[in-house]
Amino acid sequence: MGTVPSVIRQILNHILPFTNPATPLIQDLIHTLLLCGTLYYAPALAERYHSQQLDDRIPPAEPDLDNTADHALTDDPPSPNANIPLDERLILQPDSDSETDRDRNINFMPPAPTPPPGPGLAQPPIPFADLDPAEGPAEGPADRPRATPQNRIIGAKKAKSLARKDQRRAYHEFHRQQAEIRRQAEAAEKEEREAELYAEKARRAEVEREIAERERLGREKRKEDEKREADAELRRRERALDTVRGEVERYGVVNLSEVARAEGKSSMWIDKLVRASGIVGSLQRPERGEHTIHTGGMWIVRIDKEIMREVYANAAVHGEKHRGKISFADFGSIIEEAVEARARANS
């Protein structure tokens, strides 16, 4: 990476003066003078070169046969500016640098116009009708056109300069027209790009609107499904609780696992439902001597006085058989048998 900067630095050290301490002072001064002269005369040389190039690009005019013939008869060399294309509105006169010609041009005064005929004149002027028609009126300075910027008298050098200006004007006008055409094309392309961009934005907006509509319909459908599922769940819970309440009231016992299986749910679901609903408390009848129990075996059992008398009688019999001893497991089995016996009797 350091090779390129080092090469550029070496080239600049060779081009610029006072960059090498080993170089003699006179050599650096001469180098400086040459460099300053080159920078001073370079614009003028470039302008002259461009002028010559512009002269070479000017198309040659058709040769003037009359002028060539006149020079051939008079043995005079033809003028180098004879074939330069000139504007038709210009009036040319030959270049003259002599003091006599300049004095004649400066001191030349056109004669006064002819006064109109009147009584003060001794004789009226001779009309053109009396002259020879072939000769016509004599041309004088008064008959020349009035000098204006359009028809002023110029020399060949000035005409050549004006021709160059016209050519430069036409050249710049051509480039201006080309730039205008490019600007118009860019404006048309810009409008087309803006139209395409607007169409793309409209298409994207339509797609986004369709996506939003689908999402809205999906949300509404999900809400309807969730509402329908919630209603079904609510009805399922109400049916399960009604079944539990009816079984307890009718048989005094209910198997929660069978109720859950009938509703298509698990035992955990019915267990949570029974505990959350408080149905066991609503089934208590203390005033009537009835107590409802939610056992760990997924049963709900109602115990009343009749069952307990039967249980105590069976427990006494069991105790007599086992020397007056009964365990809690045996006592639970006795209660379970009594409850099942009542359930079978009520069914």
Instruction: Report pTM.
Output: 0.39
DSSP helix/strand/coil, 298 = coil
Assess whether pLDDT exceeds 90 at residue 225.
yes
Alpha helices in the chain (DSSP H): 3-15, 25-57, 65-74, 99-107, 156-251, 256-262, 267-277, 279-282, 305-321, 328-346
Assess whether pLDDT exceeds 90 at residue 207.
yes
State residue 60 phi and psi, 5-degree precision.
-70, 145
Residue type, 294: H
pLDDT at 131: 44
Q: Which residue has the higher pLDDT, 135 or 144?
A: 144
Q: What is the pLDDT of residues 248-284, one digit of tens each?
A: 888 888 888 889 999 888 989 998 998 898 888 888 8
With bands split at pLDDT 50, 70 and 90, how would you rate the model's confidence at 203? Answer: very high
| Alpha-carbon dihedral 323, 329, 332, 337, rounded to 10 degrees | -80
CA 346/CA 341 separation, integer angstroms: 9
β-bridge pairing 153-154 and 91-92: parallel
Assess whether pLDDT exceeds 80 at residue 73.
no
Q: What is the pLDDT of residues 132-143, one digit of tens each?
A: 444 444 444 555
pLDDT at 119: 46
- Is residue 44 within 8 Å of 38, Cβ to Cβ? no
Radius of gyration of the chain (CA): 65
Worst-scoring range by mean pLDDT, 109-118, 176-185, 201-210?
A: 109-118
